[in-house]
Amino acid sequence: MISVENVTFHYPDGPDVLQDTNLEIRDGEFVAIMGENGAGKTTLVKMFNGLLKPDKGTITVDGIDTRKKSVAQLSRDVGLIFQNPDNQLFAETVAQELAFSLRNFGFAEDVIERRVTSIINTLDLERYEKSSPFVLSGGERKRVALAAILVWDPKHVIMDEPTIGQDYLQKDRLRNFIMQLVSQGKTIVIVTHDVEFVAECKPRVVLLSHGKVIGDGSATTILTNSALVEQASLVLPQISTLMKNLADLGAPSDIIDAYSAKDFVVARMREKVESRARSLKS
Amino acid sequence: MLGFFVSALMFTNIFALLVVFVMQVPIVLVAKTVKRWLQSMRGVLIYGGFIFIMNMIFGTQFVQAIAFSIRFLAVVSAFSLFFMTTSADDLGLALEQIHAPYSIAFTFTTAVRLVPTMAIDAQTVVDAQRSRGLELDKGNFMKRIRNYVPILIPLIISAIRRSVELAEALEARAFGATEKRTSIVTLKMRLSDYVVIIATLIGLGFAVYVYLHVPLPNPVIPIQLPRISWPSLHTSRIDQT
Amino acid sequence: MAAISARNLSFKYAGAESPSMENVSISIEKGEFVILTGPSGCGKTTLCRCLNGLIPNFYSGELTGDLEVDGVNVSGKTTAELASHVGFVFQNPENQLFSLSVERDVGFGLENMGVPREEAIERIQWAMRATGIFNLREKAPYELSGGQQQRAAIAGILAMRPSILVLDEPTSFLDPKSAEEIIAVIAKLSHDIRLTTLLVEHRLDIVSRYANRVIVMDRGKVELNGTPSEVYNDRARLIGVGLPRVTMLFHLLRTAGFDVANPINVEQASDDLRRLLTK
C-alpha cells in the first residue's frame, strides 16, 4: 500500500508544489492521477520511489517511511516509468538495456537471462533483441522503456504520461496491456491528462489542482463532474458531454465511454419498440 | 569588470590584491546579486585553498601564498559578477553591434540559454536511472566512473536531438536568409554606462600608477617550507656538494 | 490556383530501406483548413517537411514528383526562401523559442529576413495580439506554460506572413484545455486572414469541428481525402485512425443495425442521437 499523509513539498526556491496532500493507494488498485500541467502529479509520484522526499508529512510504501530507504531499495517494489524513453536508453542492444536494472539489483546472471527473454516475449520485442535501442521508432522505444521497468517485476508500477505521442492503435495496445497487469494483481498508477483513455479503462481517478487533491473517486463519478474537470484544466469525455446534452431524454449521467453509451441506446430503442408493440396490441 | 581583471593580474602584493577584491563588494551590493555571488564564491573557495596549498608545498612564502589565492578569487569574482549582471541576450546584442559575425553571437546566446534546459535534462536522466537501481554514490573509483555512462549517453543523445529540433526551427524562421539582418532592439549607451567606463579607466590608471611607483609593504611571515628540489636534471650540481 | 499542389510526390530518406512517402497527390485550396492524420510512421511528417523545403535540404534522400506551394515550385528552393510562403510550427514548444523575451522571439524570423525595423515592429504587435499573448511580451519563454509557448511560436511564424501554415502535432505536449484553446486560436486565424492551414493531429475529437477536409495517410500513401464526415468511416477505423468518440458510438450503433448519420463532433452527435431516440 502506498500512503501519502499530510505531504507538503516545494522545489528549492519555489512555491509549494504539493500542499497538505493526502492519498491512499491500496495494493492491486488501478489509479489515474490527473490534473493540469504543473499540478504536482509528477512530483507526487516521484515521492513514491524516494526520488523526492516530502518537506512535511510522510510517504509510506508497504509500511515503511520512504525516508528510511534509498531510491534503489524502494525501486525494487515501485517501478517508475518516465515519460520520455530517451532519458534512459543508453545500452548497445535492447537486451543489455533490459538487463541493466537487473544487474543493479544484483540478480544472478541466469535469472537475468530468463527474465529478459520473458519480458521481450511479453512485449513483442523479439525482433529487436539485438538491435540498438536508438534505431527504433518512437513507439518502439517507449515499449523498450516499459519493458526495462517491468523486467524486474515490481509490485507497484507507475507510468508518467504513457499516452503522449502515441497514436490510437498504440494506445489501444497499451490499454490492453495495462488491464493485463491489473489482472495480475499489480498496483498500477498512471499519471495522465488523457481523458478519453481514462474513460475507457475506468480506473479510480484522483484529481490534482495546484498541489491539492480536489477529487477522488471512480472514473464515472469524477469525469462527469463538470466543475471539477474544469478546475483541473481537463475536458469532459465526449460521450459524457453527449449524455448531458440528452439528460432531458433520460440519458444516464454516469456513462463516459462509447460502448456503454451504445448499450444504453440499444436498450432504450428496444424499450420503445416493445412499448409501441404493447400499445398497438391494446 | 575588465578593470578588476587587469588589476588583479597585475599585482602580486597582498594588500593591493585585497583592495582589488574588496572593491568589488560595493558593486555586488548595487547589482543586488549578493546571494548568488556568495554562492559562487563558496564554490570557488576550494580552488582558492588548493592554490594556497600548492604554493606552500612548492616553497612560496606564507603571505604570498595567501595573496595568490586572493588574486584567484578576485578574478573569478569579477567574471562571476559580469555574467550575473549581464543578460545573455544583451551580450549577444553587444557582440552583434561590434559587428562580430552573427553566427558567433547567436551560438553564444543559445549556448547560455540552453544551460538551464540541459541542467533539467541531466536531473531527469539521473532520476530515471536511479529509478532503475543505479546507485551513483556506491562502489570503488572505477565503478563510479562507469556508473556515469548511463547518465552521459542519454544526455548526449538528447542534446543532439534537441540540436536537430532547434536547427529545424531555425530554418523555419529563415535563419541565414540574408546577410543583412535587421536589429529590432538596439543597445543604447546610457549615462550610467558612461559613468562605469570612466570609473574603470580612472581605477585602472590609479592601479598602474601604484604598480609602477608605489612601493607596497610586503609583510613576510616566516612560515615557509624548504624548497623541494626535484630529482635533479643537473647531476653536476649534486656532484659539487 | 491551389495553395498546395502535389503530384506523385515520393520520398525515401537516405539510408532507408523503403520510401516513407509514395505517390502522394493532393490539392489544397487557399484558405482551407485541412487535417492530416494517420498512424505513426504513415508519412505525414515527411509530407510536411517537403512543403517548406526541410526535405530535401535538411533531410537528404530521393525526392521525386512535383510540388508547388503558393504558386512556387519548391524544387531548388531553400527553407529560408520558402519561409515567407510556408510557416512551420513544430511539436515541442521548448525547442522553437530562441530569445529571452517573447517579444524579441516573435521578431526573430523578421530579423533573419531583413525586414525593415518599422514594419517588423508593426508585424510583431499584430502577431502577438492575434495569438492573444500581447500581455506576455516581456516574459521569458521558460516562464510560460506549454500552451503559451506554443502561441508564442505561432506568433513568431505568423509575423513572417506566410500564406500557408503547417503545424505538426502542436498539441502533443499540452493538456486538453490548452489544446482546445490553441486549436481555436489557429482556426480563428485561419478563417480571419484566409490562411491555408495544414494541421497534423491525432486528437481528432478536438480538431474535427474546424476542418474543411481530412486527409488520412497510411504507410506512405494517401488513403482517404474528403470532408470529416466522409472520411470517418470503417476504412479509417481499420487503418487505425483515432476517430472522435461520438463518431465511434454511431459506428457501433450502425453495426447494431440502426440507420444513423455520421456525426463528427458532440453537437452533431447530440442532434443525431436526439433524432434517433425521439423518432
pLDDT in tens, A80-116: 999 999 999 999 999 999 999 999 999 999 999 999 9
Q: Please give the mean pLDDT across all residues of chain B.
A: 74
Please, which pLDDT band fits residue B61 given cuts at 50, 70 and 90?
A: confident
Cβ neighbours around B97 below 10 Å, total: 12
**C74 with C50: CB under 8 angstroms?**
yes
Other Cβ atoms less than 10 A from the Cβ of A254: the count is 13
* Preceding peptide of A85 cis, ω within 30°: no
- pLDDT at B3 (0 to 100): 61
pLDDT, tens digit, 9 for 90 and up, residues B159-183: 998 999 999 999 999 888 777 777 7
The pLDDT tens digits of the residues spanning A146-189 come to 999 999 999 999 999 999 888 898 999 999 999 999 999 999 99
Mutation choice for C interface testing from A166, A171, A235 by most C CBs within 10 A: A235
Considering only residues C65 and B215, tell me which one the structure prediction assigns the higher pLDDT.
C65
Task: Name the minimum distance, in Å, from the CA of C277 to any CA of chain B.
Answer: 51
All residues at 6 or more sequence positions from C194 whose CB lies less than 8 Å from its CB, including other chains: C30, C31
Does residue C276 or residue B36 have the better pLDDT? C276
Paired strand residues for A206: A33, A216
Residue B4 confidence (pLDDT) above 80? no
Q: Is residue C269 scored above 90 in pLDDT? A: yes
Which residue type is seen at C272? D
Q: How confident is the model at residue B187 (pLDDT cuts 50, 70, 90)?
A: low
Distance from CA of C42 to the nearest CA of B (A): 20
A-facing residues of C in 175-194 (CB < 8 A) are 175-178, 180
CA dihedral C40, A101, A189, A144 (to 10 degrees): 10
Q: How far, in Å, CA of C275 to CA of C279, rounded?
A: 6
Q: Which of B51-60, C113-122, C211-220 has the lowest mean pLDDT?
A: B51-60
Instruction: Using the predicted structure, report yes or no on whether residue B31 has a pLDDT greater than 70.
Output: no
pLDDT at C108 over 50: yes
Please give the Cα distance from C86 to B172 (Å, whole number). Answer: 8
Cβ of residue B137 closer than 8 Å to a chain A Cβ = no
Q: What is the pLDDT of residue B136?
A: 85
3-class SS of residue C252: helix
Which residues touch A159 (CB under 8 Å, ≥6 apart)? A81, A146, A178, A188, A189, A190, A191, A192
Contact call for A234 and C176, based on CB within 8 A: yes
Q: How does DSSP assign B169-189, residue by residue?
A: HHHHTTTTS-S----SS----
C229 touches chain B (CB under 8 A): no
pLDDT at B193 over 60: yes
Mean of pLDDT values over B199-213 = 74
Mean pLDDT along residues C5-32: 93
Contact A265 C273 (CB under 8 A): yes
Å from C53 to nearest chain A CA? 23
Residue A11 has pLDDT above 80, yes or no: yes
Query: How far is residue C246's CA from residue A80's CA, in Å, rounded to a whole number?
Result: 34
C-alpha C74/C-alpha C31 separation (Å) is 20
Q: How far apart are CA A78 and CA A72, in angstroms?
A: 10
- Of A30-44, B66-80, B121-135, B214-228, least confident by mean pLDDT is B214-228
Q: Does C121 touch chain B (CB under 8 A)?
A: yes
In Å, how far is B169's CA from the nearest CA of chain C?
5
A134 to chain B, any CB pair closer than 8 A? The answer is yes
Select the more confidently predicted residue: B116 or B9: B116
Considering only residues B11 and C86, tell me which one the structure prediction assigns the higher pLDDT: C86
Span A118-143, pLDDT tens digits: 999 998 899 999 999 988 888 889 99
Contact B182/C120, CB-based, under 8 Å? yes
**Higher pLDDT pick, B40 / C107:** C107
**C273 burial type by CB count under 10 A (0-12 exposed, 13-18 middle, 19+ buried):** buried
Residue B232: band (very low, low, confident or very high) from pLDDT cuts 50, 70, 90: very low
- Which residues in chain C are contacts of A262 at CB distance < 8 A? 249, 252-253, 256
List the Cα angle B73/B76/B82 in 5-degree steps. Answer: 135
Which residue in B has a C-alpha nearest to residue C57's C-alpha? B171
Say if the Cβ atoms of A90 and B154 lie within 8 Å: yes
Contact A164, C146 (CB under 8 A): no
- Minimal-distance CA residue of chain B relative to C121: B184
Taking CB atoms and an 8 Å limit, are A164 and C172 in contact across chains?
yes
Q: Pick from B98, B157, B150, B101: which is nearest to B127 by CA?
A: B150
Look at A90 and B134 and tell me if their CB atoms are within 8 Å.
Answer: no
Strand partners, A78: A156
Distance from CA of A5 to the nearest CA of B (A): 22
**C-alpha distances in angstroms, A273 versus A276, A278, C183?**
5, 9, 42
Q: How confident is the model at residue B239 (pLDDT cuts 50, 70, 90)?
A: very low
pLDDT of residue A175: 94
How far apart, in whole angstroms, are the C-alpha atoms of residue A264 and residue C78? Answer: 57
- The C-alpha cell of A196 is what? 478519453
Instruction: Answer whether A24's CB lies under 8 Å from A46's CB.
Output: no
Are residues C175 and A233, on separate chains, in Cβ contact within 8 Å?
yes
Task: Report d(CA A258, CA A262) in Å as an integer.
Answer: 6
- Cβ–Cβ of B135/A100 closer than 8 Å? no
User: How open is the CA angle C158-C160-C165, to the nearest 5 degrees?
Assistant: 50
Res B48: pLDDT: 78
- Say what the pLDDT of residue C144 is: 86
Instruction: Write out chain B residues lying below 8 Å of A86, CB-based.
Output: 154, 157-158, 161
Confidence class of residue C169 from pLDDT cuts 50, 70 and 90?
Answer: very high
Task: Give how far C79 is from chain B: nearest CA, Å.
Answer: 6
Q: Which residues contact C61 (CB under 8 A, 6 or more apart)?
A: C11, C12, C13, C14, C16, C55
pLDDT reading at B17 higher than 70:
no
Dihedral sign for Cα B166, B167, B168, B171, please. positive
Which of A38, A241, A258 shows the shortest C-beta gap to C248? Answer: A258
Q: Which residues contact A261 (CB under 8 A, 6 or more apart)?
A: A239, A242, A243, A255, C249
Model confidence at B20, in pLDDT bands (50, 70, 90)?
low
Residue B44 confidence (pLDDT): 76
Q: Over chain C, what is the mean pLDDT?
A: 92
**For C273, which residue in chain A has the nearest alpha carbon?**
A246
Is C249 in contact with A261 (Cβ distance < 8 A)?
yes
Nearest to C266 among A170, A238, A269 (CB): A238
- Flag whether residue B224 sits within 8 Å of chain A, measured between CB atoms: no
Q: At what angle do helices A258-281 and C245-255 cross, to 10 degrees?
A: 40
Instruction: Name the β-bridge partners of A31.
Output: A189, A204
Q: Do B130 and A72 touch (CB under 8 A)?
A: yes
Quickly state the pLDDT bin for C16 (edges 50, 70, 90).
confident
List chains touching C (3+ CB pairs under 8 A): A, B
Averaged pLDDT for residues B28-33 = 66
pLDDT at residue B49, rounded to an integer: 80
Q: How far is B123 from chain A (nearest CA, A)?
A: 10
Given CB atoms, is A79 within the 8 Å cutoff of chain B?
yes
- Shortest Cα distance, chain B CAs vs residue C116, angstroms: 6
At B237 the pLDDT is 45
User: Most C CBs within 10 Å: which of A36, A134, A135, A163, as the mutation test of the C interface?
Assistant: A36
- Give the model confidence (pLDDT) of C37-76 as tens digits: 999 889 999 999 999 999 999 999 999 999 999 999 999 8
Residue B33 has pLDDT above 70, yes or no: no
- Chain A residues whose CB is inside 8 A of the B124 CB are 82, 84, 87
> What mean pLDDT is predicted for residues B33-57?
76
Q: Is the pLDDT of residue C244 over 90?
A: yes
**DSSP result, A207-238:** EEETTEEEEEEEHHHHTT-HHHHHHTT----H
Between CA A139 and CA A143 the distance in angstroms is 6
pLDDT surpassing 80 at residue A247: yes
| H or E element in which residue A114 lies | helix A109-122
Residue B235 has pLDDT above 70, yes or no: no
pLDDT, one tens digit per residue, over C184-201 is 999 999 999 999 999 999
Closest chain A residue by Cα to residue B143: A104
Residue B96 confidence (pLDDT): 66
Q: CA gyration radius for chain C? A: 20
- For residue B228, is pLDDT > 60? no
Comparing C-alpha atoms, which of C109, A187, A272 is closest to residue B171?
A: C109
